[in-house]
Every structure is written in structure tokens, then in C-alpha cells.
């Protein structure tokens, strides 16, 4: 058999890039194949170097909520490039970006731009500790908050897929203030608060778990976290790197009507450019340097080209909020449809979804947390994934990731996807 271009590229890549990829979730390790190398993308389609076209449900892991290569965003980037790629100095568009978000999201009084979701979370945690004068952080098993040392404890996403429980190279001292609770289990959070003896600076949570596959919060779970944080004088941080500007313009906080003290963003906020941000209450954010004593910085933070892309996308979303109603409907059509196929075929699998995010779990157990997510048959998932890919459907190569719907996925495209699911399952 002749090697594909992707296979040849992967053969070269593994010699010079660890694992052949610049982020573990891109590898097809759990599938046992070379990843598809991508050449370009447009709307809901992505094209690999061998000329194959796929319907894309990765959407760059979330940023492409308007579909790939959205004309207005591309134009804004090209225009920004003409003025120079980076100045490392203050620019007008950074003020516009901050004002645009703060004027429209009630729980964000001030915001700081960074370059990734990892940085956003790492910085939000630092400011929470600086503000409260406490060190302990409660996180949930299966939630992924980027790859900073303190957050690599029972993290989801690539950490979960690779089967490495925690990362080597993280000194114990870096994680000894990270306390681990069970998602959807308020009792486990309360127990930790009691054990911590008043030393909890913050609870950080993905308001919809989306890095152990999609795990919706139980009724009252987020409200309960809010109440516990108030009772124990800790800050509540919503990691909205995936859910921000996706479930609603105001993210999961708006969607579920629960107000966090701090929020972290990534993905959609940069429209595909490397942008993250953290923001929230004025009295907390005023502690960030140079206004305050919590240090955090970035040579390329607020980069003008990245801001142009992100702000164009945010403005478009704000002006077209019917997109959110449409995404709910598309989610119902696709994920509801997949759930129906599972039932019709008498399969004992779980279809979890919230809005445009969904996951089919190959397990008979309802998936409500890390432990139940891990009960999934990853070999059965790999088989499903490979068959779907061969039918032209591009999904995350892991049981423990979400499918992302965009505005570019039409009902016809979704029906085509459902036909494939019907054949494959």
C-alpha cells in the first residue's frame, strides 16, 4: 500500500516534534493511526493534504463558532496585518476589546488579555490567591484547565486519553494546594471546604464539563458551588475557555444564571488566533499588575492582529444572537438524533449534550463525572471514530472530548452526519 501524504508527514514529524504533534490531543494515539494533516478549511469543511474533505466537528477545538475561514474575520486580520504584526505597546483595539466585553457581560468589570487558556487560568488562580490571601484551590476530577503545574491533577482532555494520571515533572509542592472534588457532587466540595479549615482561595470549574467528554452540571450544582464559595469566603472561577461566547454570549454564567467572581476565556475570544483572557470583579482584578501587586505579563498579550480577529468575531456574535438559538436547535437535531439512533439500535450508550457541545459515551452508565466517564469502552470508540472518519466525518480522536457545532453546520450537513452515524453504529 502506498503511504498517504499524512502518513509521510507524520513519519517526518515524529523525528523532530515529540509525538509528531504540537499538542497531544492532535495525535491519533488512542486510534492507532497517523493523524490527518490539514491543509485548509472553509465553513464546516476541513481538507487534508491528501485532498480528502471532511465535515469538521473539531472546529479547532471551539474557536470556529462561525465556521472556518469566516470572511469578515479573515478581512479584519488582513487589514490589521498591514499596520504591523506587533508593537508590544498599548493599542486602541485592546481598549475596544476590553470595553466591548465589560459593557456586555455583567460579571466582567475588568479583563486582562493573555495568549492561551492555560495562561488565563494560571493567572486567574494567582489573582484569587492574592486577593484572598489563601492558597488552596478546589478543582474537579476530569475538568481540564490547561497545563500549568497546579492544574495537572486528574485533568481531563489529553491527560485523560493518554492514560497518564498526572504529569511527570510537576513537583509535589506545586499541586499540594490543589484539592480534588467530584464533578456534580456538592457533598465532596463541602467536605473539602471543611478539611481546608478556611484556607480555600477559589473553586474552579468548567460550568459544563467538556474535557471528559461532555458532562452537564446537575440541576443546582453550580448554584450550590456559588453558595459554598460565599459561605467559606472563596472565589468562584468559571473556566469558560470552551463555554464562553458559545452557550450564550455571556457563556455558561448567562446560560445557567449563576454569577462567578472570575471567569477565564480562550478559543472563541481569539477566533482562531492565540488569545485567552481572564476577568471579573473590579475589586479582584484591580490587584493585577501594574495596578496591583499580583504579577502577570505577556510580550504578545493583546496582539493587534489577534485582537482584530477576536473582536470581529465577538461583535458578529453579539449582533447575531439568533445564532445561539440556532445552535441549540442544531444541537437537538444532531445530538438528539444520535441519541435516537442509539436507542433504535438497542445500544446501551449515553448521549450527553448541552447546546452545541455533545459526546457519545460508549458506556451503559449515565455519565455524570470523571469515574462514570472513564467506564467508557475506548476500543469501541476508536472503531466508531475510524469508521466515521472514513465516511468523511472529522471528530476529536478521543472518547473524552466534545463535538463542536458551528453556525456553518447546516441542517442538511447534520442529516448527512446522522446517516453516517446510522450506518456506523
Residue 60 touching ligand PMP (CB under 6 A): no
Q: Choose between 263 and 389: whose C-beta lies nearer to ligand PMP.
A: 263
Nearer to ligand PMP, 284 or 402 (CB): 402
Cis peptide before 162 (omega within 30 of 0): no
Please give the residue whose beta carbon sits closest to ligand PMP in the complex.
117
- Which listed residue (20, 117, 130, 337) binds ligand PMP by CB under 6 A? 117
Say how far apart CA 45 and CA 41 lie, in whole Å: 6
Between CA 386 and CA 381 the distance in angstroms is 9
Question: Which residue in 48, 56, 239, 369 is the catalytic one?
Answer: 239
Is 206 an interacting residue with respect to ligand PMP (CB under 6 A)? yes
Using the rule CB under 6 A, which residue among 213, 217, 251, 266 binds ligand PMP?
266
Task: Check binding of 121 to ligand PMP (CB under 6 A).
Answer: yes
3-state secondary structure of 10: helix
Binding-site size, ligand PMP (CB under 6 A): 16
Residues in 272-301 at the binding interface with ligand PMP, rule: CB under 6 A:
276
Q: Does the active-site annotation cover 230?
A: no
CB closer to ligand PMP out of 48 and 119 = 119
- Cell 456559588, located at residue: 226
DSSP one-letter code for 335 = I
Helix (H, G, I), strand (E, B) or coil at 193: helix
Return the bridge partners of 393, or none.
55
Q: Is 54 a catalytic residue?
A: no
Kindly tell me which of 258 and 425 has the beta carbon lying closer to ligand PMP: 258
Q: Which residues, other chains included, contact 229 with Cβ-Cβ below 8 Å and sequence gap of 6+?
A: 202, 203, 235, 236, 261
Sign of dihedral through CA atoms 217, 221, 227, 229? Answer: negative
Among residue numbers 223 through 242, which ones bind ligand PMP (CB under 6 A)?
A: 239, 241-242
User: Closest distance between ligand PMP and the C-beta of residue 142, in Å?
Assistant: 11
Catalytic residue among 144, 265, 278, 335: 144
3-state secondary structure of 1: coil
Task: Compute the distance between CA of residue 349 and CA of residue 35 in angstroms, rounded to an integer.
Answer: 26
Among residues 61, 140, 193, 361, the one that binds ligand PMP under rule CB under 6 A: 61
> Which whole-number Å values give the CA distances from 383 to 34, 47, 388, in the listed order?
15, 22, 9
SS3 assignment, position 139: strand
239 is catalytic: yes
Residues 6+ apart with CB under 8 A from 240: 207, 251, 252, 253, 263, 264, 265
Distance in Å, CB of 58 to ligand PMP, minimum: 11
Q: Which C-beta is closer to ligand PMP: that of 180 or that of 418?
A: 180
Residue 193 as a binder of ligand PMP (CB under 6 A): the answer is: no
By CB under 6 A, name the one of 116, 154, 301, 313 that touches ligand PMP. Answer: 116
Is residue 239 within 8 Å of residue 121, measured between CB atoms?
A: yes
Catalytic residue among 134, 139, 267, 374: 267
Q: Smaller CB distance to ligand PMP: residue 115 or 372?
A: 115
Closest CA to 50 of 9, 21, 16: 9
| Nearest-angstrom CA–CA distance, 48 and 413 | 19
Q: Is 251 in the site for ligand PMP (CB under 6 A)?
A: no
* Cα–Cα nearest to 45, from 33, 62, 57, 35: 57
Choose the stretch contacting ligand PMP; rule: CB under 6 A; options: 1-9, 40-48, 142-150, 308-316.
142-150
Binding segment toward ligand PMP, per CB under 6 A, in 133-141, 144-152, 334-342, 375-383: 144-152
Report the C-alpha gap between 241 and 223 in whole angstroms. Answer: 20
Q: How far is the CB of 351 from ligand PMP (least distance, A)?
A: 20
- Residues with a known catalytic role: 144, 239, 267
Residues forming the site for ligand PMP (CB under 6 A): 61, 116-118, 121, 144-146, 157, 206, 211, 239, 241-242, 266, 276
Amino acid at each position: 500500500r502506498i503511504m498517504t501524504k499524512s502518513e509521510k508527514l507524520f513519519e517526518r514529524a515524529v523525528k523532530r516534534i515529540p509525538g509528531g504533534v504540537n499538542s497531544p490531543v492532535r495525535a491519533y494515539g488512542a486510534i492507532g493511526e497517523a493523524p490527518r494533516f490539514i491543509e485548509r478549511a472553509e465553513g464546516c469543511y476541513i481538507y487534508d493534504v491528501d485532498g480528502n474533505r471532511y465535515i469538521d466537528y473539531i472546529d479547532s477545538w471551539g474557536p470556529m463558532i462561525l465556521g472556518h475561514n469566516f470572511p469578515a474575520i479573515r478581512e479584519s486580520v488582513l487589514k490589521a496585518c498591514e499596520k504591523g504584526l506587533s508593537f508590544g505597546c498599548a493599542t486602541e483595539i485592546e481598549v475596544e476589546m476590553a470595553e466591548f466585553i465589560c459593557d456586555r457581560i455583567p460579571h466582567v468589570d475588568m479583563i486582562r488579555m493573555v495568549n492561551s487558556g492555560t495562561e488565563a487560568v494560571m493567572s486567574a488562580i494567582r489573582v484569587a490567591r492574592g486577593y484572598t490571601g489563601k492558597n488552596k484551590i478546589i478543582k474537579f476530577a476530569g475538568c481540564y484547565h490547561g497545563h500549568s503545574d497546579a492544574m495537572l491533577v486528574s485533568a481531563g482532555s489529553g491527560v485523560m486519553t493518554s492514560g497518564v494520571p498526572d504529569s511527570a515533572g510537576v513537583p509535589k509542592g506545586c499541586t499540594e494546594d490543589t484539592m480534588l472534588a467530584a464533578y456534580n457532587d456538592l457533598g465532596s466540595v463541602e467536605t473539602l471546604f471543611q478539611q481546608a479549615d478556611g484556607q480555600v482561595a477559589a473553586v474552579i470549574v468548567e460550568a459544563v464539563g467538556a474535557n471528559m467528554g461532555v458532562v452537564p452540571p446537575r440541576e443546582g450544582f453550580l448554584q450550590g458551588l456559588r453558595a459554598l464559595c460565599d459561605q467559606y469566603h472563596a472565589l468562584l472561577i468559571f473556566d469558560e475557555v470552551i463555554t464562553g461566547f458559545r452557550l450564550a454570549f455571556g457563556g455558561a454564567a448567562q446560560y445557567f444564571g449563576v454569577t462567578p467572581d472570575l471567569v477565564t476565556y480562550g478559543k472563541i475570544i481569539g477566533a482562531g488566533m492565540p488569545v485567552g483572557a481572564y476577568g471579573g470583579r473590579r475589586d479582584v482584578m484591580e490587584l493585577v499588575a501594574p495596578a496591583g501587586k499580583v504579577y502577570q505579563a505577556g510580550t504578545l498579550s493583546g496582539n493587534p492582529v489577534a485582537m482584530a480577529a477576536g473582536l470581529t468575531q465577538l461583535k458578529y456574535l453579539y449582533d447575531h444572537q439568533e445564532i445561539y438559538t440556532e445552535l441549540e436547535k442544531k444541537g437537538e437535531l444532531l445530538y438528539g438524533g444520535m441519541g435516537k439512533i442509539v436507542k433504535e439500535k438497542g445500544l446501551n450508550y449515553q448521549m450527553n449534550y448541552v447546546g452545541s457541545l455533545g459526546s457519545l459515551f460508549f458506556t451503559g452508565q449515565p455519565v455524570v463525572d470523571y469515574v462514570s466517564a472513564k467506564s467508557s469502552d475506548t476500543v469501541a470508540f476508536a472503531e466508531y471514530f475510524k469508521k466515521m472518519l472514513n465516511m468523511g466525518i472529522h471528530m476529536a480522536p478521543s472518547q473524552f472530548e466534545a463535538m463542536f457545532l458551528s453556525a456553518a453546520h447546516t441542517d442538511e450537513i447534520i442529516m448527512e452526519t446522522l446517516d453516517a452515524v446510522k450506518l456506523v453504529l
